[in-house]
Amino acid sequence: MQIVVLDSARDIARQVSAILLSQVRAKPDSVLGFATGSSPIETYRLLIEAHRAGEADFSRVTTFNLDEYCSLPQDDPHSYYAFMKTQLFAPAGFDYGRVHFLSGLAEDHEAICRAYRAEIAQCGGIDVQLLGIGRNGHIGFNEPSDRFSDGPFMVELAQSTLDANARFFENGTPPRFALTMGVGDILAAKKILLIATGDSKAKAISAMVHGPVTPQCPASALQNHPDVTVFLDRAAARLL
């Protein structure tokens, strides 16, 4: 795991967006794995800027998002689909025909999960996967548990995750269930970039980097991947 500690979220976004931009320039039909949450927003802003300046063309990029809440339609403003549409896909000129999402509304979620995994494989796998990390060490929505998940699955969110994400919901209550790529899907990406900022992530980062590889800290599985770069500000790196 390569650890990069920078002064600000802005500096992190500059480096992460530069990696994504050079990936897309080298391979215009790249397959990118995207994450939601606050951590990647500044990176997405810089990708949008590059597109508007005519320096980047995302129209041939295929995307897979990590996770989605159950019971929210895609046009619900709280859905992760809506988040990605506003924060990146629409303003950066992505082709919606190449955007892939787990559908939280599906009745047969097991079939949806199997199909998602098959679609990733059909597209040749994910070239670069962007990640944030939860305060409890979750990646995507893989919550601490007794075993690492392999493929996509439906998960009941931990109370600490519901509390952390309540800020995005006017009624303070996110859906209790979500669909997420499994840890196995994440580890199958060729390259992984993880962003974490702020004091509230310091413990999870320390467990991810120095702790044992355990499903109690799902991010610790990244220790077994050959190409992971972790971008931190000083607060998130405080316990390293």
141 is an interface residue for ligand GLP by CB under 6 A: yes
165 is an interface residue for ligand GLP by CB under 6 A: yes
Closest CB to ligand GLP among residues 19, 93: 19
Residues 6+ apart with CB under 8 A from 90: none
Residue with tokens 């305060």: 135
Q: Min. distance of Cβ 1 from ligand GLP in angstroms?
A: 17
Q: Min. distance of Cβ 127 from ligand GLP in angstroms?
A: 19
Closest CB to ligand GLP among residues 59, 74: 74
- Alpha carbons 74 and 85: distance in angstroms, whole number: 10
- Alpha carbons 94 and 14: distance in angstroms, whole number: 20
Active site residues: 67, 136, 138, 143
Closest CB to ligand GLP among residues 22, 86: 86
Q: What is the dihedral of CA 131, 108, 169, 136, to 10 degrees?
A: -40
83 is an interface residue for ligand GLP by CB under 6 A: no
Q: Min. distance of Cβ 92 from ligand GLP in angstroms?
A: 19
140 is an interface residue for ligand GLP by CB under 6 A: yes
142 is an interface residue for ligand GLP by CB under 6 A: no
Closest alpha carbon to 10 in 208, 240, 231: 231
- Strand 228-233 relative to strand 191-196: parallel, antiparallel, unpaired? parallel
Piece of 7-15, 89-97, 129-137, 224-232 that binds ligand GLP (CB under 6 A): 129-137
Window 23 to 82, contacts with ligand GLP (CB under 6 A)? 35-39, 66-67
Which of 43, 62, 136, 161 contacts ligand GLP by CB under 6 A?
Answer: 161
Which of 33, 104, 134, 182 contacts ligand GLP by CB under 6 A?
Answer: 134
Q: Min. distance of Cβ 164 from ligand GLP in angstroms?
A: 7
Q: Which residues bind ligand GLP (CB under 6 A)?
A: 35-39, 66-67, 132-134, 140-141, 161, 165
